[in-house]
A and B are shown apart, each in its own frame.
Chain A
Amino acid sequence: GGIITQTPKFLIGQEGQKLTLKCQQNFNHDTMYWYRQDSGKGLRLIYYSITENDLQKGDLSEGYDASREKKSSFSLTVTSAQKNEMAVFLCASRRDSAETLYFGSGTRLTVL
């Protein structure tokens, strides 16, 4: 089996601050994703990457940057944190052409 590790588990930032969330997977999966989960809402796709150095925008990419420098890692940057984006950010991965998505436990972002 494998695991997806997200760091940090809790992230507190100031409004306007640039913040980076990290994700590592040891499944050797090709595709990785970042989802945002707001309280009482479903998961919305921010960015995904189908291979190292590839980036694809999701439905909610404005205000975010992403980086996939290695196959095993995928980072997400909040370019200027806003109070209305306090949420849980979930990283996930899956093998190319496979169906099942494997998730990390999330990073909870609080903006003061």
Chain B
Amino acid sequence: SQWGEENLQALSIQEGEDVTMNCSYKTYTTVVQWYRQKSGKGPALIILIRSNEREKRSGRLRATLDTSSQSSSLSITGTLATDTAVYFCATDSVSGSFNKLTFGAGTRLAVCP
């Protein structure tokens, strides 16, 4: 899983496989966001899950959230080579401010064709 000062994790899989990435966060949040960063680009939001949702789907993406264990997961089914990227989870600060978003260390996913 990824958070804070931990080092970025790396996964390498074959195209067509399914993959799950985990994220554990340290402070209360009302929403977990998952961002994808492709090489040479800034991160971009791919899916967002709120504290009152246990699961959220968007195409081949599925996010889960367990507020009791402060953990979230992102699954990608039927991966494509174009899914190769770094994936970050992010949460808003415990103060409830929408102004500060804290990112995990990320998971570097390589999907081999």
Q: Which residue of the partner chain, among B33, B92, B103, contacts A42 with CB atoms under 8 Å?
A: B103
Which residues, 79 to 113 on B, are CB-close (under 8 Å) to A?
88, 90, 92, 98-106
Which residues, 1 to 50 on A, are CB-close (under 8 Å) to B?
4, 31, 33, 35, 40-45, 48, 50
CB–CB A43/B48 < 8 A = no
The SS class assigned to the B binding surface is: loop
CB–CB B100/A96 < 8 A = no
CB–CB B98/A97 < 8 A = yes
- B41 interface contact, C-beta 8 A: yes
Q: Which residue of the partner chain, among B5, B6, B45, B104, contacts A101 with CB atoms under 8 Å?
A: B45
Q: Which residue of the partner chain, among A35, A41, A42, A96, contacts B98 with CB atoms under 8 Å?
A: A96
Residues of B within 8 A of A4 (CB): 42
Residues of A within 8 A of B42 (CB): 4, 90, 92, 103-106
Question: Contacts A103-B42, A103-B44 hold; do A42 and B106 have CB atoms under 8 A apart?
Answer: yes
B21: min CB distance to chain A, Å? 13
Q: State the CA gap A92–B99 with chains docked (Å).
A: 11
For the A-B complex, the count of residue pairs with Cβ-Cβ distances under 8 Å equals 66
- B13 interface contact, C-beta 8 A: no
Interface size class of A (residues with CB under 8 A): 20 to 34
Residues of A within 8 A of B5 (CB): 41
Q: State the CA gap A41–B9 with chains docked (Å).
A: 9
Residues of B within 8 A of A40 (CB): 7-8
Seen from chain B, the residues whose Cβ lies within 8 Å of a Cβ on chain A are 2-8, 31, 33, 35, 40-45, 48, 88, 90, 92, 98-106
